[in-house]
Structure 1
Amino acid sequence: MEERKKTAREIIEGYQGPPVRIMEVCGTHTHEIFRLGIRRLLPSQVELISGPGCPVCVTPVGFIDEAVYLALEKQVTICTFGDLVRVPGTKKSLADARAEGARIRIVYSPADAEKYAKEHPKEQVVFLSVGFETTTPAGCLSVKKAGEDGLSNYSLLVANKTMPQAYQALKGSADVFLYPGHVNAITGTALCEHLAEEGISGVVAGFTAKELLTALAVALVRFQEGKPFFVNGYPRVVKSEGSPEAQKLIDELMEPCDSEWRGLGVIPGSGLVLRKEWEAFDARKKYAVPPIQGRPNPACRCGDVLQGKCRPSDCKVFGKVCTPQHPVGACMVSNEGACSAYFMYGNGCPL
């Protein structure tokens, strides 16, 4: 009789290989793995660590300071995703600025911000454009639409980032990367395949319980083989070529630039900026925003968390001074943040 194949859960629970550190690059993966109780299945030699895949979390303090400057000094209307409102800046958050009379509007997409600008021509409107390859196309589309609508009162404060250089910067911080499926849906798999050739292993993972368990099981099986590897564990969404249309749109409106990542510092070529022909929609240039060097709270260890150097629960202010109601750092604010996940699902203890 043919031997029954083991399930993904059985592979994970029965793992007896060498110690392995798997980095959940994506914040949504961190939250889902906690929420689904997958950490309970892990043997002691399997360690999950958080990475820089939360766009709000890696956005530096200086960006918040720039947004506060625009809101209070230039009296623009700031349109933003809700997560950014309570992220602390050097002295103030956007919530603090709103309490002082600044116009801060929560939107669900850049298209909402462009529409608001069109409907309120007497207001200068700035959308806070943060995110990775997944959300960047939507910001580009809003700029094209603003151009088509002839708007002169809409612009972006850009902090969009790209993942390839971050993976290189994190080389050696984990044995296996759990790649974010939604990013790879845009970029394709060529980069990950190339990284495997350079010795960086990883598995693209989806977001359901089955997909996450399968990705972790594949990672453990392949890790024991002792060779760098790449596996696309999300083939129903991620194709080798990614989304050529989205890639073309980004390339049409934006170009690479050096970018600061919270915790990782400035990573060359890891950011995006609007091309010269679209600079009328660049808020920094439009409002001559001065150079602003943000200063994070020295008690906050978000930077170490984002590099996998510590767990959120290792931070002295975690769960005490720093809570979702009164966050000290971005990782406690965002619904993709590692600190938020640890706080919500057991203060960092395997459940």
Structure 2
Amino acid sequence: MNEQVLKAKQIVENYDGRPLRIMEVCGTHTHEIFRLGIRQMLPENIHLISGPGCPVCVTPVGYIDQAIDLALNHHCTICTFGDLIRVPGSDMSLQQARAKGAKIVMIYSPTDAFTYAQSHLDEDVVLLAVGFETTTPASCMAIRDAKKNNLTNFSALVANKTMDNAYLALKDSADAFLYPGHVSTITGCQIYRDLCEEGISGVVTGFTGPEILTALAVIIKKLEKGQPFFMNCYPRVVRDEGSPSARKIIASVMEPCDSIWRGIGNIPGSGLQIKAAYQDFDARKKYGLENTQGHPNPACRCGDILRGDCMPNECPLFGKVCTPEHPVGACMVSNEGSCSAFYKYME
């Protein structure tokens, strides 16, 4: 352990000031903090909150219901990431819909759905487009290529989200944020400086133990000064300008809209929708889907967990009725979910 990391470790372990609430908003951070033993070394006055950093977790129940409607009532082939298959809707999951005859195809990239539609012209193929700025460019590429190739059997059910307005919605839930490294490679750093002007503090960090410890130490020392701050502690990957080309692809196909986040509600300007120029590939318009809020299990506290109002192990279902094998809420389904991390690493 080099001298800089050792100093950061000492700052974190020896902190004896006022209680601090630090929210990570990246599922990979949540799991790595557990796996590396960082959560266990924190003093009692530093509270790590696992926020809405898992795209599957924040996808609302109503979206799952729409996907199931497309699969069972419109007989569409659903192309989706694996985690989303087991997320409960109001009445069932996509996995359960598959048992009723729905055709569900697991993909590893949104562009896989475009390729599948090209080779299955007799099927109406719908991409379930979810995720933050990291995966959105690939969804936009699939939609763009479908239009370019006049692939009329392809469309997308979009629930992509952007993070900047989510920080504004959660500004009272934390003293500072651990900003996500992957998302920041796309957005760059200007959005965090803008958030700083709104009184929101945070640090971009990577995923190794030294990087996370350094970020926590920076937060501690900066908060002591009492002024909003931002620092990029992941400069080897995150450039100040981010990825202009990725943002250009997004802006060409999608535009901002209000969006429902599971457990948080409607956050203005935090979602993306397909632009009018590509509306023929918008599954909601193509199949005349009605907006629905859905009905989550009332006993599940997934929403409270995403807001930082409770810890996963404080949910009465955690580890009993709700397990990774039989999830009741989305936070237990995804490998990036906070309940999944707590279940895997907590004794």
Q: Which amino acid aligns with 2:135?
A: T
Q: Which whole-Å CA distance do the structure 2 matches of 1:19 and 1:278 have between them?
A: 49
* Cross-structure match for 2:107: 107
- Displacement of 1:12 after TM fit? 1.1
* Cross-structure match for 1:76: 76
**Structure 1: unaligned runs, 5 residues or longer:** none
User: Equivalences for 1:89-168 in 2 at 5 Å?
Assistant: 89-168=89-168
Q: Which whole-Å CA distance do the structure 2 matches of 1:105 and 1:213 have between them?
A: 40
- Displacement of 1:338 after TM fit? 0.4
* Cross-structure match for 1:245: 245
Q: Which whole-Å CA distance do the structure 1 matches of 2:6 and 2:277 have between them?
A: 56
Give the TM-score, by structure 2 length. 0.97
Partner secondary structure for residue 343 of structure 1? helix
- Alignment coverage as a number of residue pairs: 345
What percent identity do the matched residue pairs reach?
63
User: Equivalences for 1:116-265 in 2 at 5 Å?
Assistant: 116-265=116-265
Give the TM-score, by structure 1 length. 0.96
Structure 1 ranges of 4+ moved more than 6 A: none
Partner secondary structure for residue 127 of structure 1? strand
The CA RMSD measured in Å over matched residues stands at: 1.3
User: Equivalences for 1:32-71 in 2 at 5 Å?
Assistant: 32-71=32-71
Q: Structure 1 residues 117 and 14, CA, compared in 2 at 3 Å: closer, same or farther?
A: same
* Cross-structure match for 1:320: 320
- Displacement of 1:242 after TM fit? 1.1
1:49-108 superposed Cα distances (whole Å, 9 cap, x missing partner):
110111000000000000000000000000000000000000010001000011001000
Q: Which whole-Å CA distance do the structure 1 matches of 2:110 and 2:296 have between them?
A: 27
Q: Which whole-Å CA distance do the structure 1 matches of 2:291 and 2:220 have between them?
A: 46
Q: Which amino acid aligns with 1:154?
A: F
Partner secondary structure for residue 210 of structure 2? helix
Q: Which whole-Å CA distance do the structure 2 matches of 1:82 and 1:183 have between them?
A: 20
* Cross-structure match for 2:279: 279
**Structure 2: unaligned runs, 5 residues or longer:** none
Is this contact kept in 2: 1:71–1:102, CA < 8 A?
yes
Indicate yes or no: 2:272 matched with 1:269. Answer: no
Is this contact kept in 1: 2:60–2:293, CA < 8 A?
no
1:147-174 superposed Cα distances (whole Å, 9 cap, x missing partner):
2222111111000001111111001110
Q: Which whole-Å CA distance do the structure 1 matches of 2:127 and 2:4 have between them?
A: 54
Q: Structure 1 residues 4 and 147, CA, compared in 2 at 3 Å: closer, same or farther?
A: closer
